[in-house]
Structure 1
Amino acid sequence: MFAQTNASEEGFASYYADKFHGRRTASGNRYHKNKLTAAHKTLPFDTKVKVTNLSNDSSVIVTINDRGPFAKGKIIDLSYYAAKELNFIKKGITKVRIEILSDSLNTNDTISIASSANEKKTEPPIPSYPGTYDFNFKETELSGYYIQTGAYKDSDILSEEINRLQKKIDSNNIYIEVIKIKNTIINRLLVGPFEKKNGDAEIAVLQKKGISGFLKSY
């Protein structure tokens, strides 16, 4: 049995779409829709949390193995199985309370959800291996034309830029390409996709919003 700490957080939960089944998470493990796992922005990987659906009082214990969600108002992204246990598959989103289970933490781990969100993260929010990802740092494929708005070595700066973009454009149009150049990880921030013929117009729209970049294809 796991003992609960006094660390809790309330907000909205969503769950992974089926297309993410089998893709790598930020921890390096692959997402499995029928396992009790979840994504959280700051909690250490392998932390176990109790998630309670505040609309029906059902609860489930999940293991944190991914980063996200980064959409405003959401505090946790659950596996399909966890969402099914909480009975909100049809709704797609529900208000929850999450509580850390202390036996899953190391003695040096932060046990306050609120304070961990304000501290500098010790783990990068994105994988340290090449690939392409959506704004929740879940592996995806890119196809078409995108506008690259920047390239960053520092994952904290990348997160700040993603947050800045989210205030100006739809989060679903934000992507990250992780590349490795001479043993250095570079994170390219992309907006798209667009048709090539609309590229110049889209660049102009972004420039009016204070975002600059150039067009590239995938």
Structure 2
Amino acid sequence: MIYNRKCYILSVIIFLFIGISQPLSAQSIKTQKGEASWYGSKYHGRKTSSGELYNKNKMTAAHKTLPFGTKVKVTNLDNDESVIVRINDRGPFVGDRIIDVSEVAARKLEFHAQGIGNVKVEVLELPEDYKPQNAGIFTIQTGTYVTKQHAERLSEKLKAFDKHLEIELTDELVRGKKIHRIKAGRFESRQHAEAFNDLLKEEGLSGLVKEA
């Protein structure tokens, strides 16, 4: 679902730093209502965000936050048709759409021709290895400094780059000396963290992607 590198990175930024002001975690999402879209032949055989190859004939879907492997029931509110799909991709990053289903799922829900459907999404089953709290959360360690002044200077540059970016400045003792570490952002996948880090790299502000 990547049109080009720049478009993808901008989509990630919009989602992560504007839409995440009120994040929806796997624990908080039980039922959602909103617009659904679908994707098909253009992406058939391409790698999804989970690493799987997309198959337009399988009952899968893309969701912004639910863990990969989550099974959800999607119901078309206009005709009560429903399907069960497994989340294996990220998206959609267009407007307020809440889920992007496979082509076969869209056909069964009977909104394939329209392109958009009014749906309800219900979480049925989380993956067995799902861990709440910080599991699967990644951040970018953008710097380690001996002086707090230098750390604050970088923090200001990061804020100037994106005012929505969450910055964490921490102090640690290493061999008896205080050091200051800067962490930028909280990302729900390594892929999203790496994509944003690529954008920071163009401004000389990149760091190391680490699990939070």
- Using structure 2 for the length normalisation, give the TM-score: 0.51
Partner of 1:153: 197
TM superposition outliers: structure 1 runs of 4+ over 2 Å:
102-110, 119-122, 124-128
Q: CA 1:99 to 1:106, structure 2 compared with 1: closer, same or farther past 3 Å?
A: farther
Displacement of 1:152 in angstroms is 4.0
Q: State the Cα distance separating 1:126 from its structure 2 match.
A: 4.1
CA-to-aligned-CA distance 1:173-195 (integer Å, 9 cap, x gap)? xxxxxxxxxxx78xxxxxxxxxx
Change (3 A) 1:39 1:18: same
How big is each residue's C-alpha offset from its partner over 1:104-152, in whole Å with a ceiling of 9 and x where there is no partner?
4556347xxxxxxxx9443235496xxxxxxxxxxxxxxxxxxxxxx84
What RMSD, in angstroms, separates the aligned Cα atoms of the two structures?
A: 3.1
Matching residue of 1:90: 113
Matches within 5 A, 1:116-155: 120-124=186-190, 126=192, 152-153=196-197
1:77 and 2:121 equivalent?
A: no
CA distance in 1, matches of 2:98, 2:32: 8
Q: Can you give the 5+ residue segments of structure 1 that lack an aligned partner in the other structure?
A: 111-118, 129-150, 159-183, 186-218
SS at 1:96's partner residue? strand
State how many pairs are aligned. Answer: 125
The residue that corresponds to 1:170 in the other structure is none
Greater gyration radius:
2
DSSP 3-state at the match of 2:54: coil
Q: Counterpart amino acid of 2:101? A: L
Provide the rounded CA distance (Å) in 1 between the counterparts of 2:90 and 2:32. 16
Listed as ranges, the gaps of 5+ residues in structure 2 are: 1-27, 134-184, 202-207
CA contact (8 A) 1:53 1:94 kept: yes
Equivalent residue of 2:42, what SS? helix
1:101 to 124, 134, 139: 124
2:45 is aligned with 1:22: yes
Structure 1: how far apart are the matches of 2:37 and 2:87?
Answer: 14
Percent identity, aligned pairs only, is: 48
Q: Is the 8 Å Cα contact of residues 35 and 98 (structure 2) preserved in structure 1?
A: yes
TM superposition score normalised by structure 1: 0.50
Residues 6, 126 of structure 1: CA spacing in aligned structure 2 closer, same or farther, 3 A cutoff?
closer
Checking the alignment, whether the CA contact within 8 Å between 2:68 and 2:127 is kept in structure 1 is no
1:67 aligned residue: 90
1:55 matched to 2:83: no
